Structures are given as C-alpha cells and as structure tokens.
Structure 1
Amino acid sequence: MKDRLGSIIYVGKARDLRKRMSSYFLASRKTRADLKTRALIDSICDFEFHIVRNEAESLLLEGKLIKDYRPRYNVSFRDDKRFLLLKINPNDPWPRFQMTRLKKEDGARYFGPFAHSGALRATVDWLNRRFGLRVCRPREPGEIDYKHCNADIIRNCSAPCIGRIGHQAYLGQVEEACRVLEGKGKRGIFDDLRADMEKAAGRLNFERAALLRDVMDNLQKTLEPTRQFTRGRGVPTTVKPMEDLAELGEALHLDGPPKVMECFDISNVSSNHIVASMVRFTDGRPDNQNYRRYRIRTVQGQDDFASMAEVIRRRYARILLENSSADPDAEVSQEDIVEAQRRLAREGRARIVLPDLVIVDGGKGQLGMAVKELHNLGLHDLPVIGLAKQREEVFVPGRSEPILIPHDRGALKLLQRIRDEAHRFANGYNSLLLRRRMKESLLDECPGVTPRRKEALLEKFGSVARIKKASVEDIAALPGISVKSAETIVQWLNA
C-alpha cells in the first residue's frame, strides 16, 4: 500500500486479495478499527501487488519487502532478524548441518531461506538420524568427545569420531542428505515414509504412525519449492533506479545522471545525543558498505546548522586527505580540485570516489552551511542540494525559489528514498548510543534508581559526570523523583 507521495506504508499478504482489499474500505470495518488502522486507511492512495506460488514464498517476500522498505504501519519483520538458512561446510573433516541467519562467503553450502523454522528443525533432526550424521560441536571430534556423547548408543550417529564409518562413506551420507534438501528423490522418500506409516498403523502402532506423519508434513513444508527474493532480482518492482537517475539529472540541470550520491542527516534526541549519518547510493541503490556515522564534537546544544557544517567538513576533508597520497603533484597543479578528484576516479587511483551529488536533509539554512564548508575546502563545483521535508522542496545554491518536482516522478521518489535511509541510519545510531549509556552506567548501583529513573536522568543530563554536578533541586524536578530520592542520588554519586 502506498500513500499520495508513492511511499510504501504497508506490506501484507493474502490468499484472497480481493477479499482482503475490500475489507479495508467497509464502513463498519473503519468504525471498529483502532487508531492505527484508521490512519492507514486514510493514507492509502495506491496499491502494488505481486503474485507468488505458495504460502512459503508469500511469507519470504513479505519479510523481504518489509526489511527493505520499512513501511510505517508494519510491526512484524521490522527487526534485523532473518529467516533461517541451513549450512554445511564440505571443507570440515566431518561436516555437519548448522542453522544460521546470515549467508557468508566461506565456501560452505547453504540451503534456504526457510519460512517454517519449526518444520526445518524437525527435518534436520530426521536427516541426522536417517543418515547417521554427527551433531556435536567440535570441528574434528575424537575419542575424548566420544566419551561424553550418547548419540552412538541411541543409534542417532554413525560415530565417525572413533572410526566406525570411513571418511568417504561419511561424506557419501552427507551428500545423500544434501540431495534430499535439494528436492532430489523426494517422491521415493515420501513413498517409503507413507508405506512405513501404513505398516505401523496396520500393527496398531499409532504412535509410530503419527511420528511418520509429522515427518512427512515437516518435509513437505521444508522442501516446498520457493524462490529466493533479493532486491533487483526475482521481485517485480516499479522502482527503476537508472531511469530515476536520468530524470533527476535533468531536473537539477546536472551534466549527467548522478551515479554516486551522498545524503546527510542530523539526529537530535536531546542536546546530549547529537549524531549525524551519511548514506551513499551508487547507481540509484544503497551502497551499505560506504555508510558512515558521526558523533558531533564541536557543537554545544541543538544546532542543526552548525552540526551539518561539521559533518560536511569532516567528510570531504577526509576524502581530500585520503586521495592526496594518490596525487602528489596536486599542490602545485592548477587543476580544479573537483576535476582532479574526478580524474583520479577515472584512473582508478582514488581511495574514496567523490560523489556526483551531495544532498542535505533540510532547507536553505542547512544548504547554506554545507555550501560554505565545501567552498572552504575548494570544492566549489561539487553539486549540492537541500531537500526540505514539509513540501519536498529541492533547494539549490544561488536560487531563492525551490525546484518543485512532481510527487509522482521517479526523480523525487529517489531523493525521498535516500533521505529516508539517512534518517533511519541516524536514528539507529542515536538509539544505539542511548542503549550503551544506559547499560554502562554507575547509576545501576545507585540505591533507589530504577531503570525508568535512570533513563530520565541520562536523557536530561547526558552522563553521570553531569549528574554529579547537578543540584538536588534540578534532579528533583524530573518526573518520578522526589526530593528525598534526589538527595540520596547526589550523596551516593559524590561519596
């Protein structure tokens, strides 16, 4: 679901899409809905839908889209937790299955992701028992590990640690288990399990029959064919980065599409927590490895203009410093600094590539400070704009009136995406710093200081050192802290 600006505000799935959509616009539904649902209904302006093959695919795609776009009205899947993968490393002496949520370039084989974690765990247990694979943690188990293991006794392991199975034979069992996870020979496995289940039921061994039934159900869920949805591949989308870049270049009258863009945002939770973020988009897509975050050092109090000046100065002074070693003749050259940086990038000698466009989150004030700092560094010709949130106005240097890009154009949506990503990254860093301060605080040992009081104290004063300097009256002014409690806090901290 999208709002009038084209931003994704909700992602959901349904077996009957018509029924699900119509339910949002029934008058009776809206009157019974909570405030959040009513706000969502009022914000809906457009829809985009994708058809998948089964329930597992819909769950995987829903989670992927929510993590990519972080819609305002979604609650589930917004954290960094991913669907389970199954990993086995053939380079280990005795390979074993391991569950993980992150795929790495470590030479291991990965299967998944899997939408049903419970079914996956049960399937892996069945595979380990059926093929006699080890489950112990040592990379190369031996006789000492065998003494503390009962898997061989209960016939769940082939005991490669004491040589009861040869190395090649064990690897053959591993390969057979991997073939099952790839879906090869699935029909034969289900036929065997079904025959065993019927035999057990015929012998009135209903417990065994129920167990085999559950094994088949879990295998069916785990081996159900699903596509791996990744951004830009496998997921249909209306986002067209290269077209949006070309359109943005024309709207801003640039020399060409801004293939590399950097956007800055300032986050103020209080005067004690001032941070900034810089996110980089390359070819219209997030370049996460080149994101940067900053703690503002020279600004006292909440001053977005001065904070923006500091982070712009630090970022581009660092780029010039890093690239100076690649161009030792730059100090005596008459070449423009921006053109010199572009030349180093073309020659592949630039350690950090100068962006084609700099974006600051804010209006004329933030833009003016950014332009001033870039001029001080000699980067007069570096394109820079300001994006104001209220009306999505684009401000450019030397022009009093903003550029108004229509809200349905891809150029503005691209600017919104990079601005929102910078905002998310800055707020995440601010939250991280606050959690660290709360966890690593002397206030944990202070009598009478509850977690809520500790949060209020750190929010107000910023650090334990400042709390020590505060008066009893200042501390007692906080909600939930009496004069007596404030006296106790002051006495304990200054003891």
Structure 2
Amino acid sequence: MVTRNRKIHGARYFGPYPKIWAVRETIDQMIRAFPIRTCSDSSYKRAMDSGRPCFPGQIGRCGGPCSQKVTIAQHRAIVDQFVAFMANPDPRMIAQLTRDMKQASADMDYERAAELRDRIGALENVLESSAVVLPETVEADVFGIEHDELAAAVQQFRVRGGRVRGVRSWVVDKELDVSLGELVDSVLQSAYDGTEPPPKEIIVPELPEDAEALEQLLSGLRERGAVHLRAAQRGEKAALLQTATNNAKQALNLYKTRRSADYVSRSRALTDLQEALELDEAPLRMECFDVSHLAGTNIVASMVVFEDGLPRKDQYRRFNVTDSTDDTESLYQVLSRRLGYLGEDDLRMGDPIRDEAENVDESIELGTRRKPGKFSYRPNLLIVDGGQPQVQAAARALRESGVDGINLCGIAKRLEEVWLPDNDYPVILPRNSDALFLLQRIRDEAHRFAITHQRTRRKKDITSVLTEIPGLGAARVRELLRHFGSVAKLKQATPEQIQEVKGIGPQIAATIHERLHA
C-alpha cells in the first residue's frame, strides 16, 4: 500500500519517494518483476473459496497463491526477493535471473524463460530510473542546506547502493540567527526522530561543533554500526552535495515567492509594518535603494518598487554614481536625484534624470505639459539597505528635497534591525513575522538588481577596453571571453596562453596583455 502514515504496526517501509508518480511507477515495474499479491483481503478470500484466480492472477500480475498456481512457500520466496531488491537494488539479482532464463531455455521450458525475460526487463527499468551517483557499496544521506536570516531550506538525498532512492525537501523558519553548523545539528536531530534509522554515513555542508556527540546520538538510533558525519570537500560526494544545495536554494526561492504571493500574508505584512513603524496608512507603494561597488569603483545603485506587497519590475530603476566617497554619500546622491523628480503635483516639464535611470517610460506631450511617467509616482515608504548611517544620509536627502509625506526606514542585514531617522534604537520585528519577511524580500531584490547592473557595467568596461586594441574586433573579443570564461582569468593569462585563442596572434596577444596590465 502507498501511505504517508509511518506508524502502522508491523509494516515494512520503503521510501520516501519524491513524488507519488515515482511510487506508482516503481511498484508497477516491481510487480512485473516479482508478481506478488496486491489484491484486497476480501478478493483473496473469495478466490480461495472459489478456486479461481483473481483478475491480477489471470493477467499474470500475481503468482496466484489464492488459486494454488504457486504454493505459499513459493510466493513467500518471491516476496522475500521483492523486499530484498526494494531495500537494496542489487544488479547481481539480474545476473542470477539471466542465468535462470538461459537454463530454462536450455531445458526447453520456453514459457518459464519468457517470464524470466520479462522480469529482467522490469528490473532493468527500475535500476535505470534511479541514477548511479556513488559506488555501489555507499549508503549515505546527503543534506544540502540553503538559508538566510529568516528561513532555511533542506534537501535530503537518500543514497542506497550508490543510487538516489529518495528525495525529501522541507523549509523551516529560523527563530534565531544561527550559524550553518548549528543549523546542521538541528536539521539532523529533526530528520532522524526515531521513525527511520540513519545510515552509516551522513554528508553535510559543515560539521557542527559537537559533531562527536551528535554521532553518538545518531548511532544509538541504529541497531548496529556507528554513524559518521562527513563534510565533503571534493570528489563525487562533494558534487552530489552541491546538487542538493542547489536544489535547496531553488526550494528557498520558491518558498519566498509563494509566501509573498499569498494575499492574506501580504495584507498582514502591510498592516504590521504600518503599526510597527507608526505610519498613518499602510505602505502600499514601497521603494528600496541599494548601492553596489567593487573596491570603490563602478559604483551603481538600484531602486526596486513593491506595490501591494508585490514587485513591480517594470518600474525598477538603475543609477550610475560617477563620484562618491562611501555608501552613505552614494545613497544621498541617488535619493536626491530620485526625490528631485517629485513635485507638488508630481508633474514635470521634462525628464531630468533620463541619463541616469534605465527603462524610463516615454512621456506623452499634452499642450505645454507632459503626462507623468511611472517614475514620478509618490511612494509611501522609502527603504534603504543599511543601518543608522545610511538612514541618516537618506533623511538628509529627503529634507533637502522639500518633499513631504514620505516615510523612511532602513533594514540592517546582520541582525535584521529596522532603523527610523529620529530613533536612537532600532525597531525589532518578530523573526517569523510577515512584515520582516516582506522587508527582507524587498532588500534582497534591491541587492540582486544592483549586483546585476554592476556586473553588466564591468563586462562593458572590459569589452570597451579590448575593442580599442587595433586588430581586435567584436568577434575576437567574444572568443577571448568565451575561452577564458571570465575577465579575471583573462587578466591572469600570459601572452602565450592568450595566443592559444583562435584568431589571436603573438603580436595581438602581447598587446592585450600589456593593455590589461597598464
């Protein structure tokens, strides 16, 4: 039977399986290989009384113990084979069935040989459905973990006989900002809560401080043998751990997206923000700003917009900062430019920051005035990525702009504190609150948008430098970047290594090396 109940007395469990279709597909193939009884007790009793096999027995999906086509002992042997293969899929069983098939064919028992042939094909399909990721002797659980300040996603791969036999995924809310090692300790204790014994080896991204004590605790859940925790750094196990971590990262992103898209959660988050920040009304339109740079160069800033708790990507903006001393000065410049576009009636004759912002909608001329673009919409709440210094810089820009009726706050990343301009102490929101979750999502989106823009600028900068070299056109520039994979590796390359690129001769290679290190 297929069930989610792990507490049926006397039952033998196999799994867990990632999807219900994976369970049914495995059962279908296994019944072809091992035709055991799957009918209900009432059908079995009726067949025993009548002496006629049930429908699965008539079509060959059951050995037929009810109609004495096979004896009870023979059927028990088939069940034992089923259990052994489900517990540890062993290719040697296929080899044994192949020998039996050849022997049956040699004995001219062709009907028996055909049955064994079908069983072999079914078992091969079962083995092919689970990829071989590690040596056949390996039995381990691999835990990939991706976390931020508020939540953690866990991806568990159950490897048995070198194959991934099950996948389990879940997301937990973090009550405290704990380290990865502490998170691993908590995850393992919750994963093995007594319903399923742990395997001999558990692969985790980082060992907790009390790894030895945790190993002893998990070893006590096994009938025999000890449990060993491993933090794989290289090889096949590390590659499998990276796959699990990537899956956990995608699961965390999906969790955030679903939670932010829930109407009830969004409404509750906006109401909680209004109360926590003491706003006159709910912040239906919020704009968040973040600054990104590389060692003080290529300074860029981003503005992301959330309306009714959802991102409005068509209204995102990017800014280039040509001259600045630090992040606070950059924030002051960007907010001054943004607020300078807001007037008393939110109308402007022109578009004074078109050169600085991207994706600004075209204005429509109406007499002597132009219809305001989306960039001129007045926000209810301005959010900056940072603590008290960044909030003070933003407050200075807000005061000097003369724009009233806009609230301001900042969210510091380390402790997830919310800072207000006139407060000496931060506002602490509950870690599992929808309001803090929404602020964090806005801040992370602004950070992502700024980083993406900065990387694009760096790529354009290096491309422009390369295209200025005589004899180096766009096609050769693309070939260089494709060959080395990144600008950093291209800068580290010697002239001889650069010369290995298709179309690059010794003279051009020497010029490229000289120009990049000028």
TM-score class, shorter-chain normalisation, is 0.3 to 0.5
Q: Please tell me whether Structure 1 or Structure 2 has the larger radius of gyration of its CA atoms.
A: 2
**TM (normalized to structure 2)?**
0.42
**TM (normalized to structure 1)?**
0.44
Structure with the larger strand share: 2
